[in-house]
Amino acid sequence: MCDMPDCFVGFDTSNYTTSAAVTDAQGTVIANLKIPLPVAAGERGLRQSDAVFAHTKNLPLLCEQLREYTKGMRVRAVGVSVTPRDAQDSYMPCFLAGKAAASAYASALPCELFHFSHQSGHIRAAVYASGREAELLHTPFYAFHVSGGTTEVLFVTPETDGFRMELIGGTDDINAGQAIDRVGVRLGFAFPCGKAMEEAAARYEGKISKAHIHVNGCRCNLSGLENLADKLFCQTGNKELVCAYVLDFVGETLRALTLGAVATHGAHPVLYAGGVMSNQRMRVSLAKGIDACFAQPAYAADNAAGIALLCRDRYLTIH
């Protein structure tokens, strides 16, 4: 029993995906399991009650899969995301499902249980999969958390078992993922629409008019994008063009926010995390002249790998 290798388990229950993950004692992710939440055709997402119901159905399936990855190993601790962000008033009901499952899982073993935010898990996973983990765990950096529920610019200072995060910018209205999905659903794509829109945009080979973005320093507005996309589609009837325009609009907005952060707060590496940052088209624009770090798509989108890694980090700090 004492010779069994240690491992750490993480759970994350966002409004898009039920996730579980396992990392070993050396900090290598050995399982990154996900079940997307079902969204009806034409809908732009799930109500919280529907998300909780879907997580309740999915979590036993993931726990069964975890048995295969933890077989012959000793689970030292379990981590779970319990809030969207590291803020006192941060709350979403969907995270209660993961909290309950993680608590039961840890009690049954038994082992220690640690709570984290969904956002910190995103950043830790992106750090892991950026190719610059050793650097980013020891030096301050900017983190962009860009998804359907969040568009924030953070100044991140690594600590022994996590991060200290200061909000320095972001959207003043809707989130980047929301803007993309609203247009995508209107064009007939299934929610979430980012991947299908990226594929459609790649098929467009014509000229794209310059996006008139709305950025002031580290703040942006994205609510006008839907109307611009509707107007462009009415004029052209070309879905591929509209997809390319929308993704370029968001990409240029993020680029301007990045330059605003650097101009205001100084030069540091820039890490892009969140589901929107799985988009390869945006990465090309953001990489030009910026010290940019990108996670592999599986670690940019919702996942529990970052939570498992944070769990390991905290356990090793305590013990």
Average pLDDT estimate for 81-85: 96
Residues 124-143 have a mean pLDDT of 98
d(CA 78, CA 283): 33
Same fold for the pair 6-129+299-318 and 170-294: yes
The reported pLDDT for the residue numbered 261 is 97
- The pLDDT, as a whole number, for residue 87 is 86
Using one digit for the tens of pLDDT, what is the confidence trace for 139-195? 999 999 999 999 999 999 999 889 999 999 999 999 999 999 999 999 999 999 999
Phi and psi at 110, nearest 5°, equal -85, 160
Per-residue pLDDT band for 211 (boundaries 50, 70, 90) equals confident
- According to CATH, the topology of domain 6-129+299-318 is Nucleotidyltransferase; domain 5 (3.30.420)
User: Among residues of the chain, what percentage have pLDDT more than 90?
Assistant: 93
Could you tell me the residue ranges of all domains in the chain?
A: 6-129+299-318, 170-294
User: What average pLDDT does the structure give for the chain?
Assistant: 96
Indicate whether 15 pLDDT > 70.
Answer: yes
The encoded tokens of residue 78 equal 């379990």
Question: Scanning the structure block, which residue is given the tokens 């038994």?
Answer: 110
* pLDDT at 24 > cutoff 80: yes
Quote the tokens at residue 158.
Answer: 């690594």
pLDDT at residue 2, as a whole number: 61
CA angle 260, 265, 267 (to 5 degrees): 85
pLDDT at 54 over 80: yes
Q: Is the pLDDT of residue 1 over 80?
A: no
Residue 161's pLDDT is 85
Q: Which position has the higher pLDDT, 210 or 200?
A: 200
Instruction: Write out the DSSP string of 186-228.
Output: HTTPPSS-HHHHHHHHHT--S--PPP--EEETTEEE-TTHHHH
Task: Give the pLDDT mean for 228-235.
Answer: 97
Taking only the tens place, the pLDDT of each residue in 274-312 is: 999 999 999 998 999 999 999 999 999 999 999 999 999
Task: List C-alpha distances in Å: 120 to 12, 62, 70, 165, 224.
Answer: 11, 22, 24, 9, 29
| Bridge partners (DSSP) listed for residue 17 | 36
pLDDT over 90 (residue 41):
no
Domain 170-294 in CATH: superfamily? ATPase, nucleotide binding domain (3.30.420.40)
Between CA 213 and CA 200 the distance in angstroms is 22
